[in-house]
Amino acid sequence: MNTQTLKGSLLLLLILLTGLASTGLQAAEYCSDRYYMDATLPNQARWDMCWEHRSREGIMLHKIHYTPPGGERRMVLNQAGLAQIHVPYDDNGARYHDISDYGLGGGYMAALTDDDCPGGELLAFNSKNVLCRQVEATGTALAWDGGVVQGDALSLFSVSRVGAYNYIPLWRFQDNGAIDLGMGATGALQRFGSASLEQHGWLISSNRVGLAHLHNFFWKLDFDLNGTPDDDYVEELNFIQGNSSQLQERTRLNRESARSVDPETLRFWRVVDGGQQNIEGQPLSYDIRLIQAEHRDSGPDEEPFTQNDFYVTRENPCELYASHNPVTDGCAGNLAGFVADNEDIRGQDIVVWPSTTFYHMPRTEDSPRMDAHWSFLSITPRDWTAGNPLSDSADVLDGGAGTDTGTDTDTGTDTDTDTDTGTDTDTGTDTDTDTGTDTGTDTGTNRPTITGQGGGGSLSPRDLLLLVLLTAGVLLRSRRP
């Protein structure tokens, strides 16, 4: 084989392999192909992300990107996962911290079967199926006099068995860019008492009381809107009742803060990108709403992390769990300690820790097996596009473009830049200690085929390079002197 033929063969091989792997390049952008998923929904909205298994947190998601129909692919979250399940009982006989002290992964994570994941695909960690991936119809998403649009979502869930409970962390990525974060709890009641403890629960059979308890679910969300970690900021929005009207009040949280819901002011928060705007000149953002705020827990002094619903911190690798966080290397033991130093978060990578509470007063119907009860919070795009991405109107097809201003711009009507809004912040410290370490992360090497999605079974760039080099070696050895 002459040199010219060799060059031509190598060029042809590179072209062919690049074509085969074109959809796999984004997979290897952040993680090994086995732990990458890419889902295009029926209306051509797209979600792609990486996932991993951890012994404590269970399933963690990374590098979450949303692409509106006909729009631009942008990062929403750098990392997202559960940060604690805190379960204090009314009789004070147990106060569990299920994630830090037991874990959702490893032996606590259930092996899923096809019956658990109808119409979906099972994704494996090592040899165990741990994650169900489904595309599901969500019903009417948009309706007007001339028609209706049905919605769809990418749904991901796992199941973890901790004590008598089966926990079901659920992620629902909707085609309009919204994300529902849910937690289901089913299985069986954990603790019982005699009839003398009825004031702490409910009599479910003769001389048998199911003890009441709280489930405090904490999430940890590291937003990197548009892929930039250090220009996001958090606004708190309140709506103040006036004379026959309501006035909007926006406050930027410039320091680490601990905040609570306020039904009287209809309070919610949004994470804003300081550099990127849509074509209308509005900064890209995501709203965070604690939509199930009818149950709240404000625990004893030794549990200060329960006294607020929403925390904002500067990213710190040692801050893993909302409570019973390892206190090595000077790290605080819980969320209240994380915000106690009141760090300035302007121009920093920020993390938000929203929570929701379910108060479980047992019923006779909870025995012997109880129905699943669900707790949700929602994060919803605001000004991500210049119109409804589910509409086919021409004026929103290019709504995600816009310009990068490179500056931190606030287009709100309230220019208040109060540097410390964390009036609910606890300044104490916590001495809780961690009962174990997290060693369950898997790096993976092979990507499972995802039916109907691009890139199933494709090669990573590293594998392509190795294959090209090996082929070149074979061709070179085949040359005659």
Q: What angle do CA 107, 113, 114 make, to 5 degrees?
A: 160
Cβ count within 10 A of residue 180: 18
Q: Quick one: DSSP state of residue 109?
A: B
Stretch (H or E) spanning 6: helix 3-20
pTM: 0.79
Query: Digits of tens for pLDDT over the chain (481 positions)?
Result: 555 554 555 444 444 444 444 444 454 588 999 999 999 999 999 999 999 999 999 999 999 999 999 899 999 999 999 999 999 999 999 999 999 999 999 999 999 999 999 999 999 999 999 999 999 999 998 888 888 989 999 999 999 999 999 999 999 999 999 999 999 999 999 999 999 999 999 999 999 999 998 999 999 999 999 999 999 999 999 999 888 889 999 999 999 999 999 988 999 999 999 999 998 899 999 999 997 766 677 777 889 999 999 999 999 999 999 999 999 888 999 999 999 999 999 999 999 999 999 988 899 999 889 999 999 999 999 999 888 888 875 444 444 445 444 444 343 344 344 434 444 433 333 333 333 333 333 333 332 333 333 333 334 444 444 444 444 444 444 443 3
Query: Strand pairing of 268-277 and 283-289?
Result: antiparallel
**Chain position carrying tokens 């119409």:** 119
| Closest C-alpha among 308, 295, 356 to residue 334 | 308
Q: What is the pLDDT of residue 295?
A: 65
Q: Quick one: DSSP state of residue 471?
A: H
Chain-centroid distance, C-alpha 144: 32
Q: What is the pLDDT of residue 312?
A: 98
Residue 61's DSSP bridge partners are: 51, 80
Q: Say whether 280 sits in a helix, a strand or coil.
A: coil
Q: What is the dihedral of CA 108, 317, 375, 166, to 10 degrees?
A: 0
Cis amide linkage into residue 283, ω under 30° from 0: no
| Distance from the first to the final alpha carbon of the chain | 9
Q: What is the dihedral of CA 448, 449, 454, 459, to 10 degrees?
A: 60
- Domains of the chain in start order, with CATH, are 28-438 (2.70.98.20)
Q: What is the pLDDT of residue 387?
A: 84
**Chain position carrying tokens 């092996």:** 111
Chain-centroid distance, C-alpha 278: 24
| Closest C-alpha among 461, 478, 214 to residue 362 | 214
Cβ(250)–Cβ(235) below 8 Å: yes
Q: Say whether 196 sits in a helix, a strand or coil.
A: helix
